[in-house]
Amino acid sequence: MVIFTEKFKPAPGLYAGILLRRWLINNLWWLIMPLTLFLALGVLVNGSFFYVAVIYILCVASLSQAIIFFNYALRPDTVVKTFEQEWEFSHAVAKVTYHPTVTVNDERISPLKESVIIEREQINRLSLSGANLIMTVAGDYDIYVIPLSSLKEENVLTKLYEYYETDN
């Protein structure tokens, strides 16, 4: 049995938000450890360390967002994942077909139609995030976002979990 989706275009901000959340979960202790040290020094030694803690929060928060944006969100394969796309799921593979459009002289054209085939073994995790299905492939930051509204059939989530759920 093959499952198809309708064409959809994921929001780029949605990808950036998911990537930022995953990066923060994986690296939160690196951010909290110095902050805890500055706050402890502010209480025990000198109150000026509270100012250092505030400066640390402001600088590190903006730099961590820049790291996510430049290292993960601006990768060419991630940018392609925000193009209009449609999916085809079967037992062995998941196939995504991208439909990028370019505006030339106020006319929208599709210069290329590219398909990517994802083998079942490459899929690490399927998860739900709000009204979206998140498919993690080959690493924590290589994700595909599929809106649940684009799935055409009833009970399709159960079928997808049966197709692709791994023991990882």
Task: Round to the nearest angstrom and report the end-to-end CA distance of the chain.
Answer: 24
Taking the domains of the chain in order of start, what are their residue ranges? 3-9+78-164, 13-77
Q: Could you tell me which of 130, 133, 127, 125 has the C-alpha nearest to residue 151? A: 133
CA 11 to CA 166: how far, in whole Å?
28
Q: Which CATH number fits domain 3-9+78-164: 2.30.29, 3.30.70, 2.60.40, 1.10.3430?
A: 2.30.29
Encode pLDDT of 88-138 as tens digits: 888 888 898 888 776 666 666 665 667 888 888 888 888 888 888 888 887
Q: Which amino acid is at 117?
A: I
Q: What are the Cα distances from residue 69, in Å, to 32, 65, 81? A: 21, 6, 15
Q: What are the tens digits of pLDDT across the range 34-82?
A: 999 999 999 999 989 999 999 998 888 778 778 877 877 777 777 778 8
Distance CA 30, CA 101 (A): 41
